[in-house]
Structures are given as structure tokens and as C-alpha cells.
Amino acid sequence: MKLKVVLAFLPILLSVAGCNIYACKYETRFISVRANATSPQVGSVNVESMGFRQYKPEQPVSNSVSYVVRGEGLTAAPTRLTLRDTRDLSRVVAELSMQTSPVSFAAASAFDVASADRDRMFELLASGNARLILDLANDASLTVPLTVATREDWHRPSCD
């Protein structure tokens, strides 16, 4: 009997609380990763943040991966910073733009993810297979394994 009463009043309770569950027209999920790596032959890299929010169905908002990465104490000038998948390290998933000096770099930007690649991007970042690879002018490189900091699976956000 109590269950029937609760179910009968549920729509009223939700509308009083300011959420109309029928107004939600999309779902979203979010992943963020972080990492640190150091090598005496290369220097140190700190991935302060790299995040991606996906929407289903598509929404008229940014569908990009944002990132903030820094490198310090490098043994040569940085030449390239790439995102790769350990299952095929020869394939570059994305090349990250960076501002460089002879011994450091700063990278704070975003890159777009095509609609057809959004599920794969989320899974790459969430799977533990994502790596950043920093290449230096002296042919040294540093591989930085990215680890999940925050993961929100598909959910409906608070609705109007």
C-alpha cells in the first residue's frame, strides 16, 4: 500500500524538487585522466588534466578533448606530443599542440573528436590504454601512461 502511495505522488515530488524527468532529452558521460612520468634521459611530464564529455544524442556543444600538460627539466627541446593507444603505438590518435622552450613545454588546449570516433575516444581514455608520448630533438622519448581520475558513466543530468 505504501509503495502505491509513493508511486502516485512521485511525479508531484519531482516537480516540486525542480526536476522534470520527462524534459531530459539527452544523456552524458565524462572521463578525465591524469599522469606524471620522469626519466633521467628525458625529464619530467605532468598531465594535470585531460577530459572528454560525450552526449547521446548529439548536442550542439563542444565535443573536444581538453588538456593541460607540462614538461620540465628536459634534456633536449621537445618536438612532438602525441596521444596513442598501447594496442597500436604506431598510430597517432591525436597530436597535441604545445608551446616549447629548449628545456620545457606547456600544452593547454583541446582537439575535436569526430562524431564517429567519440565512443572509441571515451573507451580509450577509460580503458587504461591511453598514452602520451613526448619526443625530443635528441631522439629520446618519454611514454606517459594515463590513469583515470574521474569517470561518470551515462546518466541524465538535472533537468528543467
Q: Which pLDDT score, from 0 to 100, does residue 13 have?
A: 45
Identity at 127, one-letter amino acid code: S
Give the Cβ contact number of residue 92 at 10 Å.
13
Phi and psi at 13, nearest 5°, equal -60, -40
Q: Evaluate if pTM is beyond 0.85.
A: no
Average pLDDT, the chain: 88
Beta-carbon contacts of 133 under 8 Å, excluding residues fewer than 6 positions away, are: 80, 81, 82, 84, 89, 141, 142, 143, 144
Mean pLDDT along residues 56-61: 80
Mind listing the pLDDT tens digit for each residue in 85-133? Answer: 999 999 999 999 999 999 999 999 999 999 899 999 999 999 999 999 9
Q: Which pLDDT score, from 0 to 100, does residue 3 have?
A: 46
Fold of 25-155: Immunoglobulin-like (2.60.40)
Mind listing the pLDDT tens digit for each residue in 9-19? Answer: 444 444 444 55
Q: Which pLDDT score, from 0 to 100, does residue 6 have?
A: 40
Q: Which pLDDT score, from 0 to 100, does residue 63 have?
A: 87
Sheet holding 147-155, edge to edge: 99-100, 105-112, 64-72, 43-56, 27-39, 147-155
Q: How many Å apart are CA 86 and CA 103, to the nearest integer?
A: 27
Return the domain boundaries, the chain: 25-155
Confidence of residue 59 (pLDDT cuts 50, 70, 90): confident
